[in-house]
Structure 1
Amino acid sequence: MKKFFIIIFAIFSIGILSSCKTSSKDSVKTNTNPQQAIQGEWISYSESKINLPKTTSAADAHKLLDLTASTSEKIKFDKKKVTLATNEYDYKLGRQIIIGSYSYDYKLEHGQDILKFDTTSSDIGGNVYYRVGSKLEKEKTKEINDKEAKEKKSVTHLNEVWKAKTDIIEKSLKEAMIGTWSGHFKAVATTGQGVAWAPGMQTLTFDGGTNLSFHASSDSLTNFDQKVIHNAYASYQPNGILGLEPSDHIPVDPKKLLNIIKDLTAEQMFSRIKYIAFSYDVTTDTGTISQSFSPSELSYKNGKLSFDTALLITQCGDEGVQISGDVSKTE
């Protein structure tokens, strides 16, 4: 019997010691002093986002979707100072965090490894920061990186398929532009110092590669011969090619868009195009000239694009003048 009580007492003692260790461990993890608990480095994330590209360059013109990479922002608290980006400020900690003239409601959660704060006096619903080095921060970093890698893979694949499909558009347009185009133009001033030239004749000659010549009868400063074009790309509204109305929003869903474009033929694409233009820049001795060549009434038959007229717009940035008018092929 004595031996039995000794065993029971030993088991009971082990249970008490185990409970004390657990309690001690928890008390170390959760600091009841907010001033000490908030000290350290914290990080907040902005997730990657799939969106529509802004077609302002040749590179963007070959994309159907774009991906904005994730970003992060760090904040560091010590006993008296807080560092935001590269700027250091004094702060006071009470029921709110006061930094300069701003007051933030805040909460420490999940074992004080998450800091939430907001500029309003309502429930915290603003920025979420993770304690750098904590398990939660590592898990969130992995979650952000995995999501971005998956989105990047799907967007890249979609854009590769889109480029392979639409390369025929730019190639066919440049081939159809080969030759000399001529017509009347009107000029308007685009800046306060610009001078509206008198109407005149304009002539454009394109070799189908990278060389182009242009002459406008009203001003010799705009004229150039055999200049190399750069930042050249065909611009068009993807909505029509995708079978959407101009006012419809293009879905930012790579899988859905891939299903739409994977079986598109060149004939289908050209039959759906409602607007197209070939844009490029030319550097001359007097500055940079930007032009846009926009054909109308496209016809695509037997693998060849043709059209009779086009609207030619020339932006003479250095002179503050824009000239425009329809041109027809003369040879």
Structure 2
Amino acid sequence: MLNIRIEKTQNPKPIPGEDNPLKFGTIFTDHMFIMNYETGKGWHDPRIVEYQPIVLEPSAMVFHYGQEMFEGLKAYRTDEGNVLLFRPDKNAERAMNTNRRICIPEIPAEDFVQAVKELVAVDNAWIPTRPGTSLYIRPFIIATDPFLGVRPSDTYQFIVICSPVGAYYPEGLNPVKIWIEDDYVRAVKGGIGEAKTGGNYVASLAAQVKAHDEGYSQVLWLDGVERKYIEEVGAMNIFFKINGTVVTPKLNGSILPGVTRNSVIELCKHWGLPVEERKVSVDELVEAAKTGALEECWGSGTAAVISPVGHLRFEDNVMQIKDGGIGEVSQKLYDTITGIQLGKVKDEFGWTVQVK
């Protein structure tokens, strides 16, 4: 168990009022968690301090070789005033998988969760309560060695910051339009596609800009080898309901194993819906849309939770999914997951963790 030193700020910032629209990821709470690592000493000096700039040497390895990772999860306040986290153990597990892949020292899962819980407890007054809002939590690790040379760093910082947020997409729960990218590639099996690291996201920006210019919210990636199989959206995993069966691309080493993705699969199976994790070709998708077999499509992720998809575009083929509205399963998943997160729906799976 970490012995976390807490130094509360003497200059607290004004907390946004409930009428604040809370644009995603723009406002940050009063405090941050920091813990250092040094080869031979391990992780040490865990502390919660005032939110402040990070001071690093210009030669710090994170700037030159991209050795960094991050996670994302949320805290929610229930009607009774309790504060809940949603499956933080799964974020800790995925964080350690990322660390192993990019040669960052692992942090015990219980220490990861403890750091998150204690920071949220300190800044719990920042958790908004308006429908659709939450406290977004961003744990990350950066390589800090002042060294120009390609090798794993000998020093790191593990940092956690928090941000009160509203909907990730401006559309909220309204269906989004997704562009299926056939030019750029995000990741390949054997690379770092299954790790949550910034390199995967910077690789997506050029296609993202292209999609936005065409009026689409996000990019849906194809595999990087055959360029024919669906993988994931830039900020979400993807699901389809085809002829009554829920279908999602199988994890293959180039797809991020989403916590919400896992929750969606477990819920659908719990409800008795047939679920398949398998290869899904873009040709199958186009044909299913043409025949009406494509009944629903949605994305899943911590930021958006569930995001219904109303339109898909591949090359010059624009596919409207049913009437372009929110599907029955999409709505049920959103209501159930957010209900569990807010303590309004019974948690039959033990997914929530109480902070206070």
TM-score, length basis structure 1: 0.21
Give 1 or 2 for the bigger CA radius of gyration. Answer: 1
TM-score, length basis structure 2: 0.20
Greater fraction helix: 1
Greater fraction strand: 1
1 or 2 for the larger relative contact order (CA 8 Å, sep ≥6)?
A: 2
